[in-house]
């Protein structure tokens, strides 16, 4: 990663995302939806990129697929290994970066990413890598948070308080079908979009906020950055609480997301 202009960002991300494990309670169910959306079948060779604790990888392996899974965070990968052992499935977990995948060309029948590859700073590099390791005729499928819905807007709020390094793409751009079409371009055919909603249980907007301050990488980092600037932290918290209130109902925060599926030419 030494020639990588975003090496420092990725080191920060690796640290920030390491606390994500409790949020698998929310992404476990959406992983099953993505595995269905990707039409994963037994004996297919599958890669889960930005696998976190392996929720997508384990789900695909339980369908009978032969699964590799990759993530920046060794801490999350360790959780993934434990989940795989508990489920009695074999998964080849690797610590790595979606912008430099350690797999040969045309290796996989299916590449999935659930809210993972969207956090890599260079969409052109990410797209090229995910398509490179996919076989011609293979399926690329991912779930992403759109810019116009709650999670996308929450990341925009975080970016307002802690701007990303110059040149890093905003993650929720990966939730815009027009941008996805441009990024995948002529390399794919048969693009299909679907939308769904995930729900995050919480007792109040403040309870929700406390939860993500302890688990969601970019928010964890923001809180650490403003440790000695209580006024800024208070301003962020006030904006977030008022914003979350709009999506909070029946002790749940509603989080709309987009699923994409495409076939590599």
Part of the chain binding ligand SAM (CB under 6 A), chosen from 44-52, 190-198, 234-242, 249-257: 44-52
Q: How many CB atoms lie within 10 A of CB 156?
A: 13
Residue nearest to ligand SAM (CB): 52
CA angle 94-89-26, nearest 5°? 75
Q: Contact at 8 Å (CB) between 206 and 159?
A: no
Q: How far apart are CA 114 and CA 142, in angstroms?
A: 5
The verdict on 99 binding ligand SAM (CB under 6 A) reads: yes
CA angle 34-35-40, nearest 5°? 140
| Contact string 126-165 vs ligand SAM (x = CB under 6 A) | ----------------------------------------
The verdict on 72 binding ligand SAM (CB under 6 A) reads: yes
User: Residue 214 phi/psi, 5° resolution?
Assistant: -100, -5
The verdict on 120 binding ligand SAM (CB under 6 A) reads: yes
The verdict on 115 binding ligand SAM (CB under 6 A) reads: yes
Residues sharing a CB contact under 8 Å with residue 238, sequence separation 6 or more, in sequence order? none
Sign of CA dihedral 116, 161, 165, 124: positive
Part of the chain binding ligand SAM (CB under 6 A), chosen from 20-28, 147-155, 156-164, 250-258: 20-28
Closest contact distance (angstroms) between CB of 181 and ligand SAM is 22
User: By the criterion CB under 6 A, which residues form the site for ligand SAM?
Assistant: 10, 13, 17, 20, 24, 27, 31, 50-52, 55-56, 70-73, 76, 97-99, 114-116, 119-120
């Amino acid at each position: 990663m030494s020639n990588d202009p975003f090496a420092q960002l990725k080191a920060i991300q690796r640290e920030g995302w390491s606390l994500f494990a409790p949020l698998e309670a929310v992404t476990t169910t959406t992983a099953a939806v993505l595995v269905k959306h990707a039409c994963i079948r037994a004996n297919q060779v599958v890669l889960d990129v930005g696998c976190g604790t392996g929720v997508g990888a384990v789900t695909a392996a339980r369908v009978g697929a032969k699964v590799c899974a990759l993530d920046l965070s060794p801490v999350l990968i360790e959780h993934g290994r434990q989940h795989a052992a508990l489920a009695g499935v074999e998964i080849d977990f690797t610590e790595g970066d979606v912008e430099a995948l350690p797999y040969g060309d045309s290796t996989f029948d299916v590449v999935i990413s659930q809210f993972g590859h969207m956090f890599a700073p260079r969409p052109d590099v990410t797209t090229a890598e995910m398509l490179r390791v996919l076989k011609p005729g293979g399926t690329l499928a991912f779930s992403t948070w759109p810019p116009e819905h709650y999670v996308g807007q929450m990341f925009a709020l975080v970016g307002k308080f802690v701007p990303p390094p110059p040149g890093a793409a905003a993650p929720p751009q990966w939730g815009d079908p027009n941008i996805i079409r441009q990024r995948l371009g002529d390399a794919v055919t048969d693009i299909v979009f679907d939308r769904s909603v995930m729900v995050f249980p919480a007792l109040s907007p403040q309870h929700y906020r406390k939860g993500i301050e302890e688990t969601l990488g970019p928010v964890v980092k923001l809180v650490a950055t403003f440790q000695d600037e209580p006024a800024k932290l208070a301003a962020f918290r006030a904006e977030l609480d008022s914003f979350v209130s709009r999506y909070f109902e029946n002790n749940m925060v509603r989080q709309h997301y987009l699923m994409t599926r495409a076939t590599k030419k």
